[in-house]
Every structure is written in C-alpha cells, then in structure tokens.
C-alpha cells in the first residue's frame, strides 16, 4: 500500500479552505444570475405598473369639469358616511365630473377614499379631479363672507343672508322673534323681551354653506357675548342700568349718529332726557315699526301706537331696534357729560345740539326744517 503525500490528504478543521471544483462554481453562478434576472424583471414590471397607474391618474385626474359650457359654480352636498363611489355618483349626477366611477377609482388609487369628508362644497369651473379630491379630503367646505353693518335690524340682516343663499328669510326671522326657540331659558342676557333684535352682533362673518339658521344666529349672538357682554355687564351696573337697557339705548344711538365722535354726545342727550322723564322722541324708533319707513316723518307718523314709538311713550322701548356696534354700546354705557337736551341733523351727517327748546327751534330753522 502506497503512502499518501500529506498534500494529497483532505484538509479538515476550522478555518481551512476547501477547494470547490470549477463546475460547481459555474452552477452557483448560473443560479445567482437567474435570481438576479428574476429580481430585475420584477422591478421593471413593478415600475411599469407604477408608471401606468401614475399615467392613468395624471391623464384622467387633470381633466376639467364635465362640460365647459355648463361649468358654473356648483354646490355639492355630501352626506355623512358617503363612500367614494356614492360621492362619485353625486358628482356625475350634477355633471361635475365625466365619470363617477373614474372619480372613485382615482380616489382609491391615491388612498384618499377613506378620508373624504361630509359637507357642502363650492366647486368652481375648470377644477380637475385632483383639485376636487383635495377639497373633499381637506374638508374645505363652501363658505361665504358676509358683512353685517352696525345699525342693521333683523329684517335687513335676514335679507342680506337670504341674498347670499344662506338662510330662509322667514324662518330666520321667526327664530329671531323668540329666543326660546333656540336658547330655551338659557339666553346669556336676562331680558323681558323675547326677540333677539340687537344681539346679532355686526361684524364680518364667514358662514359655511349649509349651516342652519339656528347655527348662524348662535354664531352672531356668540360674537356679541365675546366682544361686548363682559364689559357691558360691569359698565351697565355702574350706572344703574341692565345690559338689555344699554343694548336698547345703544341701538337707538347707532341709528341717530352718523359720525362716531357724536355717539357719546347723543348718548348724553338721551340720558339727560331719561333722567328727567322726557320722551326720547327719536325718529328711528318710529321708522322701526313702519311697514314702509320714510326718511322724513309726517306728524301722523308720530301718532303710531306702538311701545317702540318714543314720541308717544316715555322711557326706553321694550327692546333694541337695530344691532349696535361696540362703539355705540360703550357710548350708551358711558355718556358724555353734557347738558344738551336736543339735537337736529344738519344734513351732512353731523348734528347741532342745544340746551333749550327755544334754541332747538332756532337750530331747526337754520338747517331748513
């Protein structure tokens, strides 16, 4: 038996390199290349699918509204709990998109179908699917900006809101006529008169389309509570008035004054009259109860039998005649220290004030009355 050379013996033990035949290496290489090729083919296929999806979304989501000739602003109401398919159907029914199914599919591909929010949306001409989906996902509901001026009464406020398509005028006025319909017995200002006239605070509001009349009224009253009530409670008590009396007086001052600097002076005149039991004799209180008010009153108008007619009845009316702004409210609570008892309009927005009736008559003649 021949003795084997130690170099021909198989090596054993840790860290010892074992020779692998070249044929086996080629087999391993072929298998590795096969795996690499499969991986690359998968990547290319996935990329192609992604590109196809992106191309579909890009080409279809950028399409404008259904029919450019019909592309006017549309209000879309989406009920709570609506699926993307239901929303797509609503969009197609209103001719806002060409295909409700396409809207639903694109929304699903983008992963937004579970995030579309309920509400009323204003959709403008030329919007594409991506813009519509973006609005519905972010909850950018349709809103309208409305300016309520100082001195507007409930009738005028209701008409303005109705002109914007925000309220039913008659329903709004019915709710304003009786605070209990909204607040029950929890209105924030104790008062003997149920109407909300005077408490719809004048301001610039942004209302969502679809808000109820109750919600709009509550928002306006809440603005009064926020801006005016805390200060009024303190100042009214300091001069022996209730908040309701101050709001009522402020509503008359607001209608009489044309320039802000005269607010506290006119307030001083009215306070002086109230202190001695004189009737306020304010034209706006008569105009408030007239069906067709005139800028200039006739003598017969002064005889209208209404508790709001301050020519006929002494003291304050039962409630406000307009929505006073904060300046008028503060003027009512902080009258100027004057001894005037009368004033007459000059015709330029300002007034001439007088202490005696004889002086008042002379001033009337001077201004052409």
Q: What is the pTM of this model?
A: 0.74
Token pair belonging to 107: 């929304």
Query: Which pLDDT score is estimated for 109?
Result: 86
For residue range 119-153, what is the model confidence (pLDDT) as tens digits? 888 876 677 788 888 888 888 888 889 999 999 99
d(CA 125, CA 122): 10
On the 0-12 / 13-18 / 19+ scale of CB atoms within 10 A, 48 is exposed
Query: Which pLDDT score is estimated for 210?
Result: 86
CB 363 within 8 A of CB 357: no
* Low-confidence stretches of the chain (pLDDT beneath 50): 1-4, 6-8, 10-17, 49-51, 53-54, 57-58, 61-70
d(CA 99, CA 61): 11
d(CA 208, CA 224): 19
User: Please, what is the Cα angle at 127 between 138 and 103, to 5 degrees?
Assistant: 70
Give the domains, in start order, of the chain with CATH numbers.
Answer: 68-141 (3.30.1490.480), 144-227 (no CATH), 237-366 (no CATH)
Residue from 206, 153, 202 nearest 328 by CA: 202
Query: Which pLDDT score is estimated for 75?
Result: 78
Q: How many CB atoms lie within 10 A of CB 10?
A: 7
Residue written as tokens 């209730």? 242
Angle between helices 229-238 and 326-333 (to 10 degrees): 20
182 Cβ contact list (under 8 Å, min separation 6): 175, 214, 217, 218
Query: Which pLDDT score is estimated for 33?
Result: 59
Q: How many CB atoms lie within 10 A of CB 19?
A: 7
Query: Which pLDDT score is estimated for 132?
Result: 86
Query: Which pLDDT score is estimated for 110?
Result: 86
d(CA 139, CA 148): 26
């Amino acid at each position: 038996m021949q003795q084997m050379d130690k170099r021909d013996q198989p090596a054993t033990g840790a860290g010892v390199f074992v020779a692998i035949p070249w044929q086996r290496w080629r087999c391993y290489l072929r298998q590795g290349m096969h795996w690499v090729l499969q991986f690359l083919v998968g990547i290319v296929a996935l990329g192609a699918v992604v590109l196809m999806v992106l191309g579909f979304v890009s080409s279809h989501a950028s399409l404008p509204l259904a029919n450019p000739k019909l592309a006017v602003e549309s209000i879309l109401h989406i009920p709570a709990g609506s699926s993307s398919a239901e929303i797509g159907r609503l969009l197609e029914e209103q001719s806002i998109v060409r295909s409700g199914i396409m809207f639903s599919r694109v929304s699903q591909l983008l992963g937004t179908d579970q995030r579309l929010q309920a509400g009323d949306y204003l959709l403008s001409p030329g919007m594409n699917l991506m813009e519509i989906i973006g609005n519905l996902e972010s909850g950018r509901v349709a809103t309208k900006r409305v300016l309520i001026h100082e001195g507007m009464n409930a009738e005028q406020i209701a008409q303005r809101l109705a002109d914007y398509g925000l309220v039913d005028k008659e329903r709004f006025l019915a709710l304003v006529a009786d605070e209990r319909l909204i607040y029950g017995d929890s209105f924030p200002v104790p008062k003997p008169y149920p109407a909300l006239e005077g408490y719809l605070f004048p301001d610039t509001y942004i209302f969502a389309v679809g808000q109820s009349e109750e919600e709009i009224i509550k928002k306006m009253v809440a603005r009064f509570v926020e801006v005016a009530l805390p200060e009024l409670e303190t100042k009214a008590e300091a001069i022996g008035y209730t908040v309701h009396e101050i709001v009522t007086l402020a509503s008359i001052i607001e209608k009489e004054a044309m320039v802000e600097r005269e607010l506290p002076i006119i307030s001083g005149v009215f306070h002086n009259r109230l202190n001695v039991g004189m009737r306020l004799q304010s034209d706006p209180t008569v105009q408030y109860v007239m069906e067709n008010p005139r800028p200039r009153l006739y003598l017969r108008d002064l005889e209208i039998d209404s508790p709001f007619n301050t020519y006929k009845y002494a003291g304050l009316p039962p409630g406000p005649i307009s929505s006073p702004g904060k300046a008028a409210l503060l003027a009512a609570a902080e009258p100027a220290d004057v001894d005037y008892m009368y004033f007459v309009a000059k015709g330029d927005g300002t007034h001439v004030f007088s202490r005696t009736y004889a002086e008042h008559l002379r001033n009337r003649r001077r201004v052409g009355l």
